[in-house]
């Protein structure tokens, strides 16, 4: 119940092609995250799945049923928006029950569904308030509740955490993950934040300029990126890219994760000077300026004292390098 | 509170300017209302004096009550103004919604076309309008006035409302679509309540010129049964003799309904003007 498949989906705004042929399957119960920089088309793609944006070419199917031209309300989907999008004139109860009311369901059923969802999200006490009387976190919970009440085959989330402050974002992220486990429903989630993508997803779809760069489980993308874009986008701090020529390698460039760099005495494989240090307690990020490779980031665990301006040598295990060709494609 | 933002000197200066402006704006209204309660002699000898025991005279109001059917004139004015206002707001908001919400070929051109009326005075088309009304047999009906005023009010309404509707969150409308609301329900239940301040602004700017208009009632509906209050008051203004008591009394009475309508809309109007200024 809730298997989504996109085949050859394209979208044009006038002469501009914003989605350039996306093929994707999301299995029943899977948590799929679209991630990419702003303007990559991830929100447009989500809105096309929702039916809020017309599909120029290709088909969208849910459980084998072609829903490309079905209006949003009849797609058996529910969507949670970044700006919550609660109806300002309705109470929390009515906000959550509206879709069922529109579908002409009996009042007792609507009441039961609303109260069950409210209990799941700890909204019981707020049912008779209006959106204006709620905090940001509560509003987002109501928006999620409104989606749950409909028992959709597919949940769509459009950057639902972007308007929340950092602490609340972590808390709501955990709540969404818990919800996914409890409901076992298929979810498609859009974010530009790769940490959200890594922590929530069963499957990540990395998009750039309307094209899928790579699809895979979070650790697959982290440990086995297809190209420099995915390698650079997934993982924080970003992967370091080294010029292969300066290292005597045959590839065009070589990537290495910040945690794989070891800092030692001169001379290492690469030498440089410390340009900035960030101490986060659990880890220390050392930014090293190097002659050949520009600024490199090293991630050390625990607390370290490195004076800015001091010279050091960097070593690494060559087996941990990712090799890329001129076009940024991975050489395996 | 800092001294720079709340120095008493500045506050006094600002209030002085506002008071002077208020006096200038209210002066004609004041003179009209005050003189409507005076005898004819008193109006001409001491036009600025308040009505005293000697000069107080309700002759103007008596004339208005006896001569001509002023209740009917009032009714005509109210019917025309309210119906026109309703049509302008409804159709203006609908057009604005379509222009701001849907992407279709010629959207911008259509918007410009609808806004063109702001720049071209409708009175330039009087002859054509009259011919049209004669051809359709609408001369001397209130329908003629309602149609003309609706056409006159729409351009500004579309222009102002489409700007405001663009500011209504897309997410909200999309949430409605996913929940199965029809486009009409989205328009009436979600969008209209959110642009209420803008609607009030448009209502006030539309209503006042309609209520005060003399031109179209004179040309399109001068018959006794369709006279509006502004046109009705003209019976007291002759070429050689004017019954000033009656004119002033009629005008004083004419201020009342428009004042009531303004008060209804003004709360919303102030909110519209300051929209976005205060969180």
For residue range A250-260, list pLDDT tens digits in order. 889 999 999 99
Contact A83 B169 (CB under 8 A): yes
**Record: contact B175-A78, CB cut-off 8 A:** no
Q: For residue B261, tell me if it sits in a domain.
A: yes
Q: What is the CATH number of the domain that holds A115?
A: 3.40.50.300
Q: Tell me the pLDDT band of A5, cut-offs 50, 70 and 90.
A: very high
Question: How close does chain B come to A269, measured CA to CA in Å?
Answer: 53
Count of the separate structural domains present in chain A: 2
| Residues B135 and B86 reside in one and the same domain | yes
- A195 and A171 in a common domain: yes
Residues of B in contact with A53 (CB under 8 A): none
User: Is the minimum CB–CB distance between B177 and chain A shorter than 8 Å?
Assistant: yes
**End-of-domain residue from the set A230, A258, A284:** A230
Average pLDDT across chain A, whole number: 91
Q: What is the DSSP letter of B264?
A: H
Distance CA B137, CA A301 (A): 90
Number of domains in chain B: 2
pLDDT tens readout for residues A257-302: 999 999 987 777 888 999 999 999 999 999 999 988 999 999 999 9
Judgement on whether residues B76 and B33 belong to the same structural domain of the protein: no
Regarding whether B114 and B184 lie in a shared domain, the answer is: yes
Boundary (domain end) residue, out of A170, A195, A230: A230
Does the beta-carbon distance from B176 to A87 stay under 8 Å?
Answer: yes
* Whole-complex ipTM: 0.83
Kindly state whether residues B12 and B50 are assigned to the same domain.
yes
Write the pLDDT tens digit of every residue in A83-113.
889 998 889 999 999 999 988 999 999 999 9
Whether B84 maps to a domain, the answer reads: yes
DSSP single-letter state for residue B5: T
Interface check A47 vs B, CB under 8 A: yes
Under an 8 A CB cutoff, do B177 and A52 touch? yes
**Domain of residue A301, CATH code:** 2.40.50.140
Please tell me the predicted confidence (pLDDT) of residue B27. 92
Q: Does A95 touch chain B (CB under 8 A)?
A: no
In this structure, are A30 and A57 located in the same domain?
yes
Chain B contact for A324, CB < 8 A?
Answer: no
Q: Does residue B218 belong to any structural domain of this protein?
A: yes
User: For chain B, which ranges sit under pLDDT 70?
Assistant: 1-6, 68, 269-279
Residue B189 gets which letter from DSSP? I
What DSSP character marks residue B187? I
| Same-domain check for residues B9 and B75 | no
Residues of A with Cβ-Cβ distance to B172 under 8 angstroms: 83, 85, 87
Facing B179 at nearest CB: one of A73, A89, A158: A73
A211 and A308 share a domain?
no
Range of the domain at A116: 4-230
Distance CA A286, CA A298 (A): 5
Residues A126-171: tens digit of each pLDDT? 999 999 889 888 999 999 999 999 889 999 999 999 888 888 899 8
CATH code of the domain covering residue B117 = 1.10.3720.10
Dihedral sign for Cα A76, A79, A85, A89, please: positive
Distant-in-sequence contacts of A246-249, Cβ < 8 A, 24+ apart: A246/A292, A246/A293, A249/A321, A249/A323
Q: What is the pLDDT of residue A145?
A: 92
Asked if A152 and A78 count as a contact pair (C-beta separation under 8 A), the reply is yes
- Strands, DSSP E only, in A87-210? 154-158, 186-191, 203-208
- Residues A215 and A156 grouped into a single domain: yes
Say whether both A251 and A327 belong to one domain: yes
Contacts of A211 (CB under 8 A, 6+ apart): A20, A21, A22
Q: Is B174 on the interface with A (CB under 8 A)?
A: yes
Is A78 within 8 Å of chain B by CB? yes
Contact A79 B175 (CB under 8 A): yes
Identify the pLDDT of residue B256.
84
Mean pLDDT score, A8-12: 93
Q: Which residue has the higher pLDDT, B267 or A239?
A: A239
Q: For residues A67 and B39, which has the higher predicted lDDT (pLDDT)?
A: A67
Q: Are residues A122 and A8 in the same domain?
A: yes
Pairing assessment for the beta strands A186-191 and A31-35 based on DSSP bridges = parallel
Contact A296, A272 (CB under 8 A): yes
Q: Is residue B27 part of a domain?
A: yes
Give yes or no for a contact between A96 and A110, defined as CB atoms under 8 angstroms apart. no
Cβ of residue B178 closer than 8 Å to a chain A Cβ: yes
Cβ atoms of residues A32 and A201 within 8 Å: yes
Same domain? For A29 and A94 the reply is yes
B200 occurs within a structural domain:
yes
Residue B106's domain spans which residues?
Answer: 69-273
Residues A149 and A253 in one domain: no
Task: Please check whether residues A187 and A260 belong to one and the same domain.
Answer: no
In a domain, B264, yes or no: yes
pLDDT at A225 over 90: yes
The pLDDT of A37-64, averaged and rounded, is: 93
Residues B8 and B138 in one domain: no
- Give me the sheet containing A57-62, strands edge to edge: A16-26, A4-13, A57-62, A65-66
User: What pLDDT does A110 receive?
Assistant: 94
DSSP helix/strand/coil, B134:
helix
Residue B62 domain flag: no
Let me know whether B83 and B44 are in one domain.
Answer: no
Residues A111 and A216 in one domain: yes
If asked whether residues A256 and A163 sit together in one domain, one would say no
Question: How do residues B12-43 score in pLDDT, each as one tens digit?
Answer: 999 999 999 999 999 998 888 888 888 888 88
Residue A239 DSSP code: P
Whether A256 and A155 map to the same domain: the answer is: no
Residues of B in contact with A79 (CB under 8 A): 174-175, 178
- The percentage of residues in chain A with a pLDDT greater than 70, rounded to a whole number, is 100
Q: Which of A230, A261, A276 is the last residue of a domain?
A: A230
Asked whether the predicted pLDDT for residue A6 surpasses 90, the reply is yes
- Do B161 and B39 lie in one domain? The reply is no
Shared domain check, B76 and B179: yes
């Amino acid at each position: 119940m809730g298997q989504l498949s996109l085949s050859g989906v394209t979208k044009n705004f006038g002469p501009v092609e914003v989605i350039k042929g996306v093929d994707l399957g999301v299995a029943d119960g899977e948590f799929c995250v679209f991630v990419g920089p702003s303007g990559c088309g991830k929100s447009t793609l989500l809105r096309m799945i929702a039916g809020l944006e017309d599909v120029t070419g290709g088909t969208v199917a849910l459980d084998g049923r072609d829903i490309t031209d079905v209006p949003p309300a009849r797609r058996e989907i529910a969507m949670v928006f970044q700006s919550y999008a609660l109806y300002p004139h309705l109470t929390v109860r009515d906000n959550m029950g509206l879709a069922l009311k529109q579908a002409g369901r009996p009042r007792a059923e609507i009441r039961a569904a609303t109260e069950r969802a409210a209990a799941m999200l700890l909204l019981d006490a707020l049912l008779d308030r209006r959106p204006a009387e709620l905090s940001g976190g509560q509003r987002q919970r109501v928006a999620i509740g409104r989606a749950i009440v409909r028992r959709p085959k597919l949940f769509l989330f459009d950057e639902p955490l972007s308007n929340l402050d950092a602490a609340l974002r972590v808390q709501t992220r955990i709540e969404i993950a818990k919800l996914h486990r409890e409901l076992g429903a298929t979810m498609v989630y859009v974010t530009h934040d790769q940490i959200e993508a890594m922590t929530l997803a069963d499957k990540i779809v990395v998009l750039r300029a309307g094209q899928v760069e790579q699809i895979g489980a979070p650790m697959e993308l982290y440990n086995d990126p297809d190209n420099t874009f995915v390698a650079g986008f997934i993982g924080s701090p970003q992967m370091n890219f080294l010029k292969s020529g300066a290292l005597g390698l045959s590839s065009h460039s070589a990537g290495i994760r910040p945690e794989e760099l070891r800092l030692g005495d001169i001379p290492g494989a690469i030498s440089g000077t410390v340009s900035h240090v960030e101490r986060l307690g659990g880890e220390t990020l050392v930014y090293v300026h190097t002659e050949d490779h520009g600024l490199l980031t090293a991630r050390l665990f625990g607390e370290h004292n490195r004076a800015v301006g001091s010279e050091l040598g960097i070593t690494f295990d060559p087996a941990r390098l990712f090799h890329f060709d001129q076009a940024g494609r991975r050489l395996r | 509170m800092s001294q720079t933002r709340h120095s008493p000197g500045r506050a006094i200066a600002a209030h002085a300017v506002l008071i002077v402006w208020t006096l200038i704006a209210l002066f004609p209204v004041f003179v009209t209302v005050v003189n409507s309660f005076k005898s004819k002699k008193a109006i001409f000898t001491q036009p600025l004096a308040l009505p005293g025991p000697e000069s107080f005279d309700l002759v103007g109001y008596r004339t208005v009550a006896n001569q001509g059917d002023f209740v009917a004139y009032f009714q005509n004015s109210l019917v025309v103004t309210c119906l026109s206002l309703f049509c302008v707001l409804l159709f203006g908001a609908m057009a604005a919604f379509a222009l701001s919400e849907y992407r279709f070929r010629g959207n911008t051109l259509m918007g410009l076309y609808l806004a063109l009326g702001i720049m071209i005075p409708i009175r330039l088309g009087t002859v054509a309008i009259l011919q049209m009304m004669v051809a359709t047999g609408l001369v001397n009906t209130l329908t003629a006035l309602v149609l003309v005023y609706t056409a006159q009010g729409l351009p500004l309404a579309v222009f102002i409302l489409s700007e405001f509707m663009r500011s209504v969150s897309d997410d909200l409308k999309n949430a409605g679509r996913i929940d199965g609301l029809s486009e009409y329900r989205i328009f009436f239940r979600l969008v209209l309540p959110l642009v209420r301040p803008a609607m009030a602004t448009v209502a006030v700017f539309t209503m006042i010129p309609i209520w005060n208009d003399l031109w179209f009632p004179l040309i399109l509906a001068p018959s006794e049964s369709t006279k509006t209050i502004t046109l009705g008051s003209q019976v007291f203004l002759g070429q050689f003799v004017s019954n000033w008591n009656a004119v002033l009394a009629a005008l004083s009475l004419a201020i009342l309904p428009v004042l009531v309508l303004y008060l209804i809309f003004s709360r919303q109007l102030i909110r519209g003007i300051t929209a976005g200024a205060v969180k």
